[in-house]
């Protein structure tokens, strides 16, 4: 046995010697004298306080980076960011969709043998959160919030429709039973929910009541899809009847009393309606599916409306390749449009120009939206697989909702 092992070792040694002397054997790629390119270093990351995951662009400052973007690799833990601009001392990097308060940032530069490690752990926070207990089995249609940031959601359940309330700890319970789901809803000044459901009625529900207590509050002049209050307490409603009605919610004269046609829109049907800065804004469509946002001035305390003024031509902007489903406004009058666009489900419009907002992490369709009381925008994302409410940190405040108690 010992003789066989000795024989095998002799054969292997002979093969190694022969292979080393083979003139056709390739040259070694290792150069023991090559120290590589200069080792990169990181001196600072801005913003220093952290960034939104998957959205924000951060600035990494240091030394010995490559001025060719593709030759720099920036790791956030094990995930790569996207380098969009680079010099030898600075890089602009889009963060990956990694939510963590303990992110190690490392930079690898082509030709350098050693990574650069940032000395401090970095924080990446979520700009968009799934909010509440909703899933594919909860059929959600519209929502609003009170002044305490409690979320009220219209649910089309089986066998009964309901309103649910979700508090700021995301604990949920039934707010009330309901006769029907709400295509649009608003909390009124006394805490009641006013809602419409594509029909010629405004409905009213009170907290803690069964569906039998849903009040068919007022009969409108046309079918209504959405509604909103102005600063005088007038309630505007519009839909497929090509009319906007103004409702006096304090009128107790009967089903048709206190309802006035504020505007005949001729061929325009209303998809979504909002009040802002003494104007009524409407997202409209025509029989040919041409979509646009218009506004009308509120002329007096009773809610009379002035002439239509075009604000934004959605069909021209989208080349009629997507359908706008809802809209709302920020505190400064910028417009957010939710749509079924796969590439731009939320569009941000400022000074008449539109662009995608958080397009890398939001998904279509966005069917309904409402602001909280500060920078959070709450939206409904309904697909065959997912029915959810999402809370979006927009870093800007929303326009006030006048009906909230």
Whether residues 314 and 169 fall in one domain: yes
* Burial of residue 404 (number of CB atoms within 10 Å: 0-12, 13-18, 19+): middle
Q: Is residue 310 in some structural domain?
A: yes
Last residue of a domain, one of 82, 107, 125: 125
Whether residues 279 and 205 fall in one domain: yes
Long-range contacts of 290-297 (CB under 8 A, 24+ apart): 290/315, 290/320, 291/315, 291/323, 291/324, 293/327, 293/335, 293/337, 294/268, 296/244, 296/263
Whether residues 235 and 193 fall in one domain: yes
Across the chain, mean pLDDT equals 92
pLDDT in tens, 46-59: 999 999 999 999 99
Tokens 């966005």, residue located: 366
Whether residues 66 and 182 fall in one domain: no
Confidence of residue 159 (pLDDT cuts 50, 70, 90): confident
Tokens 């005088």, residue located: 232
User: What does the pLDDT read at residue 32?
Assistant: 61
pLDDT of 29 > 60? The answer is: no
Whether residues 92 and 145 fall in one domain: no
pTM of this prediction? 0.88
Whether residues 162 and 76 fall in one domain: no
pLDDT of 25 > 70? The answer is: no
Q: Which tokens in the block code for residue 352?
A: 């008449």
Helix (H, G, I), strand (E, B) or coil at 20: helix
Q: Which tokens in the block code for residue 36?
A: 């590589």
User: What average pLDDT does range 13-38 have in this prediction?
Assistant: 58
Whether residues 121 and 231 fall in one domain: no
Sheet strands side by side (includes 140-145): 140-145, 151-156, 161-166, 172-178
> Which of 32-36, 130-134, 365-369 shows the lowest mean pLDDT across its residues?
32-36
Please give the biggest Cα pair distance in the chain: 115
Domain that holds residue 199: 128-393
User: What does the pLDDT read at residue 8?
Assistant: 46
Q: Is residue 398 in some structural domain?
A: no
Q: Is residue 11 in some structural domain?
A: no
Whether residues 89 and 160 fall in one domain: no
Domain count of the fold of the chain:
2
CATH of the domain at 238: 2.120.10.30
Give residues with Cβ within 8 angstroms of 11, minimum separation 6.
none
User: What does the pLDDT read at residue 405?
Assistant: 82
What distances in angstroms separate CA 353 from CA 313, 340, 360, one per listed residue?
A: 10, 19, 19
Whether residues 86 and 162 fall in one domain: no
Q: Would you list the DSSP string of 207-276? A: TT--GGG-EEEEE-SS--SEEEE-TTSEEEEESTTSEEEEEETT--S-SSTTEEEEEE-TT-EEEEEEEE
Last residue of a domain, one of 125, 151, 166: 125
C-alpha span between 57 and 5 (Å, rounded) = 63
Q: Is residue 275 in some structural domain?
A: yes
Give residues with Cβ within 8 angstroms of 270, minimum separation 6.
224, 225, 226, 238, 239, 240, 244, 282, 283, 284
Helix, strand, coil % in the chain, rounded to nearest 5: 5, 45, 45
- Going by C-alpha positions, the residue among 393, 400, 397, 391 that lies closest to residue 153 is 391
Q: Is residue 226 in some structural domain?
A: yes
* Burial of residue 211 (number of CB atoms within 10 Å: 0-12, 13-18, 19+): middle
pLDDT in tens, 283-322: 999 999 999 999 999 999 999 999 999 999 999 999 999 9
Q: Is residue 174 in some structural domain?
A: yes
User: What average pLDDT does range 256-272 have in this prediction?
Assistant: 96
CATH of the domain at 79: 2.60.40.10
Whether residues 284 and 167 fall in one domain: yes
Confidence of residue 158 (pLDDT cuts 50, 70, 90): low
Q: Is residue 9 in some structural domain?
A: no
Whether residues 50 and 173 fall in one domain: no
User: What does the pLDDT read at residue 30?
Assistant: 54
Q: Is residue 228 in some structural domain?
A: yes
Handedness of CA 248, 249, 251, 254 (dihedral sign): positive
pLDDT in tens, 388-397: 999 999 999 9
Q: Which tokens in the block code for residue 58?
A: 């951060």
Last residue of a domain, one of 81, 110, 125: 125
Whether residues 237 and 334 fall in one domain: yes
- Going by C-alpha positions, the residue among 225, 199, 245, 223 that lies closest to residue 326 is 225
């Amino acid at each position: 046995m010992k003789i066989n092992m000795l024989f095998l070792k002799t054969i292997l040694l002979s093969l190694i010697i022969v292979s080393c002397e083979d003139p056709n054997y390739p040259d070694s790629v290792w150069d023991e004298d090559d120290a590589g390119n200069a080792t990169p270093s990181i001196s600072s990351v801005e913003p220093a306080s952290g960034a939104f995951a998957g959205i924000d662009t951060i600035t990494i400052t240091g030394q010995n980076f490559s001025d060719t973007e593709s030759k720099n690799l920036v790791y956030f833990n094990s995930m790569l960011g996207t380098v969009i601009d680079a010099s030898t001392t600075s890089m602009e990097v889009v963060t990956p969709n990694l939510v963590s308060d303990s992110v190690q940032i490392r930079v690898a530069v082509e030709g350098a043998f050693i990574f650069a490690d940032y000395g401090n752990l970095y924080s990446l926070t979520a700009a968009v959160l799934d909010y509440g207990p909703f899933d594919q089995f909860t059929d959600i249609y519209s929502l609003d919030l009170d002044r305490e940031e409690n979320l009220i959601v219209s649910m089309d359940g089986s066998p009964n429709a309901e309103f649910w309330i979700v508090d700021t700890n995301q604990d949920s319970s039934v707010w009330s039973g309901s006769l029907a789901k709400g295509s649009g809803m608003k909390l009124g000044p006394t805490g009641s929910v006013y809602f419409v459901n594509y029909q010629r009625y405004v409905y009213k529900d009170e907290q803690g009541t069964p569906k039998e207590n849903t009040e068919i509050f007022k009969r409108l002049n046309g079918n209504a899809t959405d509604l909103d209050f102005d600063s005088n307490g007038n309630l505007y409603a519009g839909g497929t009847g090509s009319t906007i009605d103004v409702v006096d919610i304090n009128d107790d004269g009967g089903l048709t009393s206190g309802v006035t046609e504020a505007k005949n829109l001729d061929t325009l049907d209303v998809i979504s309606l909002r009040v802002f800065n003494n104007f009524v804004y409407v997202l409209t469509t025509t029989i040919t599916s041409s979509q646009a946002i218009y506004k009308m001035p509120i002329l007096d305390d009773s809610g009379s409306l002035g002439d239509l003024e075009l604000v934004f031509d959605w069909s021209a902007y989208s080349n009629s390749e997507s359908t706008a489903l809802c809209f709302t406004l920020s505190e400064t009058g910028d417009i957010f449009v939710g749509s079924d666009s796969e590439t731009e489900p939320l569009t941000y419009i400022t000074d008449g120009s539109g662009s995608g907002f958080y397009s890398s992490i939001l998904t279509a369709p966005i069917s309904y939206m409402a602001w909280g009381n500060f920078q959070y925008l709450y939206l409904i994302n309904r697909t065959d697989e997912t029915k959810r409410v999402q809370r979006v940190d927009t870093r800007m405040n929303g326009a006030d909702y006048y009906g909230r108690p």
